[in-house]
A and B are shown apart, each in its own frame.
Chain A
Amino acid sequence: MSTYAQKKGFGATLWDFLTTVDHKKIAILYLIAGGFFFILGGLEALFIRIQLAVPNNDFVSAGFYNEILTMHGTTMIFLAAMPLVFAFMNAVMPLQIGARDVAFPFLNSLGFWLFFFGGVFLNLSWFLGGAPDAGWTSYASLSLASETHGIDFYALGLQISGAGTLIGGINFLVTIVNMRAPGMTYMRMPMFTWATFVTSALILFAFPPLTVGLFLLIFDRMFGANFFDVSMGGNTVIWEHLFWIFGHPEVYILILPAFGIFSEIFAIFSRKRLFGYSSMVFATVLIGFLGFMVWAHHMFTTGLGPIANAIFAVATMAIAVPTGIKIFNWLFTMWGGSIKFTTPMLWAVAFIPSFVAGGVTGVMLASAAADYQYHDSYFVVAHFHYVIVGGVVFALFAGAHLYWPKMFGTMLNETLGKITFWLFLIGFHLTFFIQHFLGLMGMPRRIFTFLPGQGLETGNLISSIGAIFMAVAVIVLLINVIMTSVKNEKVGNDPWGDGRTLEWAIASPPPFYNFKQLPLVRGLDAYWLEKMEGKKGMTPAEPLGDIHMPNNSFIPFVISFGLFIAAFGAMYRADYAWGLPVLILGMAVTLGSMFVRSIKDDHGFHIHKEDLMEDDNDKGVKA
């Protein structure tokens, strides 16, 4: 008899999630935490739009506005978009490559808890003297001048959650390199897995510069160093470089998985193999590579000189080429296909014009001489919301609807899903399209108010109205989630009917060991190939045998919690006598639990062949 199917009490479920190392449960944790921060960041966005709805508004004060805008950006990028992307990577990628879990389940859990405690730490700043107020970029001269502990929360919180992201990225890389099912060559991997692979490589190379930058900032602010203090021989432009060497790849870390999700959706709901698969792979890798070559386009007005500006301008324009390849490949995937407009497909279809609009303004921004006008104006705000919302957020909504059955075994309501879609789509364009023009008409970004008589009133009002639509759309989605969970109508393996990749070949949600027998992969879209030959499922690549599984562990939680404590110590060390002891205590908790992990033998456990066969019988009875 199987244990996992039994109903558990709340306490037991909670403990299960606190200690789980199962990639599917960690995916749910990422989804819940990321969703929570997404709503938080969304509320901050609403405050911004309320404040800017009319000139000279006093809904929030100037200083508080800067905290809101900083936290909106930081939360959305680090605590909402990234974890939500990670949720889908965790939920889907191991299934797509036919693996039983990620390579390092323990590290997967550690990655989540580090992100979670980093995010909680950052947001506690609201209650402990003020949030960071120097923008998500936290440029050094301003972040050193900031008087509250806000920037300390920013630096320490991002350091902790960034470590989690880095660990997650390495884990995915190793998983994809080592754990593909028999027959799954690199060029048979689903596009979303390819995107995860390239994204993880980007994380591996992009996060260390951020870590370095944040450490220098932490040393400067909390331990008396002078890396960015100009009067002591420091240099603030170094921060800009470090930040953007991380920051630019970061946007590709977000958008590539989005591309991956859309690639899956276009193929599934057009009932057609992805057009130009190999050029899609090539384009993904090329975007990832070029993503590291263009960071200085965020610094065209910093004064790097015409040679640097010209080089980075041309390099940036080059990224348009692989991105264009992708757009046309998607269009031609649909061409000649049999398109069904489900909710995920609606998001995917709407993504194309929205993202192209964001992409072309990206090329316009790349034109250095003209960028002197766009830079730090609302034109830039419009641009990056077009790519991040029109690309990443659309993909997250699409992915949520597409993979909901695989993650929870239930289908989100299609009607409500379509209402969410239309409201959000209208709201999105209403909010951000007009901002291109506001920027060109002379509105700088990050301003807490604007004066009347500068021609900026109408545009800002329209923009604020759009935000309301998006807020309502998210509320409808939440209602949808609650309704679906309450109804709890279970679905089968392939609820969309047109699944092409391995994850649709197994139950929804899959059993905790995923595949009873590892599947044999005979080509791209492995499950589709089998279906077309009239088979019900995958051909196994191995005889039924015992499965080795890892044990749950509470240690990742404790390691992360130790760093959470230590961060408070580091921050208050200069203010209070208890700071240093708390710093040491926190580090002791972290290092101690790491030590326990190292010396304790934990061999995991085996699911025996007989139990696996019984599972089958259980199902047989139910059916």
Chain B
Amino acid sequence: MKMLAKWRLLSLFAMMALVLSGCGEPYLSALRPAGEVAQSQYELMLLSTAIMVGVIAVVTIIFIYVVMKFRRKNDNEIPKQVEGSHKLEILWTVIPILLLLILAVPTVAATFKLADVSPMEKKNAEGKTDALVINVRANLYWWEFEYPNEEIVTSQELVVPTDEKVYFNLKASDVKHSFWIPSAGGKMDTNTDNVNKFWLEFDSKGADEAGGLFYGKCAELCGPSHALMDFKVKALPSAEFDQWVADMQGVKEPVQAESTTAQQGQEIFNNSCIGCHAVTPANTAPEAARVGPNLTNFGDRSRIAGVLEHNEENLKKWLEDPEVYKPGNKMTGKYPELDKAELDALTEYLMGLKVQK
């Protein structure tokens, strides 16, 4: 009998997992976990859903029985006036308490596990951490990712190694945002007051299913373009990630454009854009000076402004009038209007900003 109940529970779990895994895209859905954090959260979801489906089933059975059985047949009938039943009342007080305990224990355990960021504190001889740490800074409507150990900065596209715990320092530089990569794990707010810390892990299997690119979202209302404050996460095998870091570190000076159009573009960039956008990855400039996304590897990225498909046409449209694509952004009006030739030149220059060989 006990075995049977166990099997039933298991099959219920399997059923739910099957139903839920059909939900959503592998690069975005919390129901397609692609890492240790998302996985443990997914398991909690399954456990709580199973308990809750059980509760709903009991209520529904009683409900249907009552509603069917006790309809009024005769207008004169007066049912027996029952005060209550201590036995029943104790029963439906104690059983829920037990069910909640079953849920509470793994909840508390997971809450502590997900908050364990002790490797961030352990410094080695160089004063750096052995663990990979990334400082996330959320801004009206873009994201900056600084790798303090590697001393590089990138924006909009987070690059991480797979199958390794990645630790995050999170904060916001203007209003509160929230950092969320659903398929890798739950969110954490980026406050204006303090630095929040947490960790995520991206497994290689999940990364393969997602095509190596996860979607990240801002989850806290932050202004008109809150809905468009997307970022992407490129999850690379460890060796490729190290190569990427080395490539980034290799860019010491702004890369000289090659074609003549691109050189014109670079000139425009140096006159109008470089005040906000850096094209070298070094993290030496203070945060306050990094007012726009770092563009060192702009050509390698998969979206323009986090939301538009990455092609020249979209880049031109964006440069022409960012307000149309991200209302309330901080770039609109910060640079002189660009004519068609200037747009072409600038686009060619920006698209050529590649680090990955």
Chain A interface residues (CB < 8 Å from chain B): 61-63, 65-66, 134-135, 139, 141-142, 145, 230, 235-237, 270-273, 275-279, 301-303, 305-306, 309-310, 313-314, 317-318, 320-321, 324-325, 327-329, 331-332, 334-341, 349, 352-353, 356-357, 360-361, 363-364, 366-377, 437, 440-442, 444-451, 454-455, 532
Residue contact B44 to A370, C-beta cutoff 8 Å? yes
Q: Is the CB of B221 within 8 A of A142?
A: yes
Distance from B122 Cβ to chain A, minimum over Cβ atoms (Å)? 19
Closest to B186 in A: A372
What residue in chain A is nearest B69 (Cβ atoms)? A335
In the complex, B15 has a CB within 8 A of chain A: no
Q: In the complex, are the beta carbons of A145 and B174 less than 8 A apart?
A: yes
Residues A375 and B187 in contact, CB atoms below 8 Å apart: yes
Q: Is the CB of B189 within 8 A of A301?
A: yes
20 contacts between A and B (CB under 8 A): A66-B223, A236-B191, A236-B193, A270-B70, A275-B84, A276-B84, A313-B111, A320-B100, A335-B66, A339-B70, A340-B72, A353-B56, A369-B110, A370-B110, A373-B41, A375-B178, A375-B186, A442-B215, A446-B227, A450-B227
Residue B40 at the A interface, CB < 8 A?
yes
Judging by beta carbons under 8 Å apart, are A363 and B52 in contact? yes
Which B214-259 residues have a C-beta within 8 angstroms of A?
215, 217-228, 230
| Cβ contact within 8 Å between A370 and B41 | yes
**Which residues of B sit under 8 angstroms from A352, Cβ to Cβ?**
59, 63
Q: CB distance A373 to B82 under 8 Å?
A: no
Q: Are A441 and B30 in contact (CB under 8 A)?
A: yes
Most buried by A among B56, B93, B193, B230: B193
In the complex, A438→B101 CA distance in Å? 29
State whether A306 and B112 are in contact (beta carbons under 8 Å apart), knowing that A336-B79, A376-B220, A440-B24 are contacts in the complex: yes
Give the Cβ gap from A377 to chain B, nearest Cβ, in Å: 7
Residue from A135, A276, A309, A321 in contact with B96 in the complex, judged by beta carbons closer than 8 Å:
A321
Chain A residues with Cβ below 8 Å from B115 are 305-306, 309
Q: Which residue of A lies closest to B115 (CB)?
A: A306
Please determine whether B29 and A441 come into contact, CB atoms closer than 8 angstroms.
yes
Residues of A close to B218: CB separation below 8 A: 444
How distant is the Cα of A341 from the Cα of B170 in the complex, in angstroms?
Answer: 55
A360 near B89 with CB under 8 A, answer no
Q: In this complex, what residue of A is CB-closest to B44?
A: A370
> Residue of A at shortest CB range from B53?
A360
Q: Let me know if B328 and A441 touch, CB within 8 A.
A: no
Name which of B20, B41, B175 has the most chain A CB atoms within 10 A of its CB. B175
Binding site for A on B (CB under 8 A): 20, 23-25, 28-31, 38, 40-41, 44-45, 48-49, 51-52, 55-56, 59-60, 62-63, 66-67, 70-74, 77-85, 88-89, 92-93, 96-97, 100, 103-104, 107-108, 110-115, 170, 172, 174-176, 178, 180, 182-183, 185-189, 191-194, 196-197, 215, 217-228, 230, 307, 327-328
Min CB gap B92→A, angstroms: 4
Tell whether, in the assembled complex, residue A62 and residue B24 are in contact, meaning their CB atoms are under 8 Å apart. no
Partner of B108, one of A237, A314, A455: A314
B188:A301 contact, CB within 8 angstroms: yes
Contact call B172/A441, Cβ cutoff below 8 A: no
* B114 x A364 contact (CB < 8 A): no
| Closest A-B pairs by Cβ, 5 of them | A372-B186, A441-B24, A447-B227, A369-B110, A276-B84
Closest CB-CB distance, B326 to chain A, in whole Å? 8
Which of these, B25, B96, B189, contacts A320 with CB under 8 Å?
Answer: B96
- Name the B residues within 8 Å of A363 (CB-CB): 48, 51-52, 100, 103
Q: Select which of B20, B30, B100, B189 is within 8 A of A302 by beta carbon.
A: B189
Which one of B31, B88, B225, B226 contacts A440 once the chains associate, using CB atoms below 8 Å?
A: B31
Interchain CA distance A321-B91 in the complex, whole Å: 11
Is the beta-carbon distance between A276 and B89 smaller than 8 angstroms? Answer: yes
Shortest distance in angstroms between B327's beta carbon and chain A's nearest beta carbon?
Answer: 4
Q: Decide: A360 and B215 in contact? CB cutoff 8 A.
A: no
Say yes or no: B63 contacts A331, CB within 8 Å.
yes
Cβ–Cβ < 8 Å partners of A275 in chain B: 82-85
Residues of B within 8 A of A324 (CB): 55, 92-93, 96
Contact of A314 among B38, B104, B219 (CB under 8 A): B104
New contact pairs (4) apart from A301-B188, A317-B107, CB-CB < 8 Å: A66-B224, A325-B89, A375-B186, A442-B25
A62→B227 contact, CB < 8 A: yes
If over half of A's interface residues share one DSSP class (helix, strand or loop), that class is named, otherwise mixed; here it is helix
| A62 CB to nearest chain B CB (Å) | 4
Which of B180, B227, B307 lies at the interface centre, i.e. has the most chain A CB atoms within 10 A of its CB? B227
Contacts A139-B220, A446-B226, A455-B25 given: A372-B45 contact, CB under 8 Å? no
- Residues of chain B contacted by A368 (CB below 8 angstroms): 107, 110-111
A404 to B223, CA, bound (A): 43
Instruction: Closest B residue to A238 by CB, please name it.
Output: B193
B72 touches A373 (CB 8 A): no
State the CA gap A237–B72 with chains docked (Å): 55
Q: Is the CB of A373 within 8 A of B48?
A: no
Q: Once the chains are docked, how many angstroms separate the CA of A314 from the CA of B73?
A: 46
B-chain residues with CB within 8 Å of residue A237 when the two chains form the complex: 191, 193-194
A301 and B56 contacting across the interface, CB-CB below 8 Å = no
Closest Cβ of chain A to B94, distance in Å, is 9
In contact, A356 and B24 (Cβ under 8 angstroms): no
**CA separation between A367 and B85, bound complex, in Å?**
32
**A372 and B70 within 8 A (CB):** no
**Roughly how many angstroms separate A353 CA and B328 CA in the complex, as a whole number?**
43
Asked whether, in the complex, the Cβ of B28 is within 8 Å of the Cβ of A454, the reply is yes
Q: In whole angstroms, how far apart are the Cα atoms of A364 and B100 in the complex?
A: 10
Shortest CB-to-CB span from A362 to chain B, Å, is 10
| A141: B residues at CB distance < 8 A | 172, 174-176, 192
For residue A368, which residue of chain B has the nearest CB? B111
Given known A302-B189, A376-B178, A447-B227, contact A455–B24 (CB-CB < 8 A): yes
Which B residues touch A303, using CB under 8 A? 170, 188-189, 191, 194, 196-197
Given the complex, which residues of B lie within 8 Å of A340, measured CB to CB?
71-72
Residues of A within 8 A of B194 (CB): 237, 303
Q: Say whether, besides A141-B176, A440-B31, A441-B28, A356 and B223 are in contact (CB < 8 Å).
A: no
Contacts of B41 in A (CB 8 A): 369-370, 372-373
Docked Cα-Cα span, A217 to B193, in Å, equals: 17
Q: What is the CA–CA distance of A305 and B111 in the complex, to the nearest angstrom? A: 9
- A65, A321, A376, A440: the one contacting B100 at CB < 8 Å is A321
Q: How far is the CA of A43 from the CA of B25 in the complex (A)?
A: 32
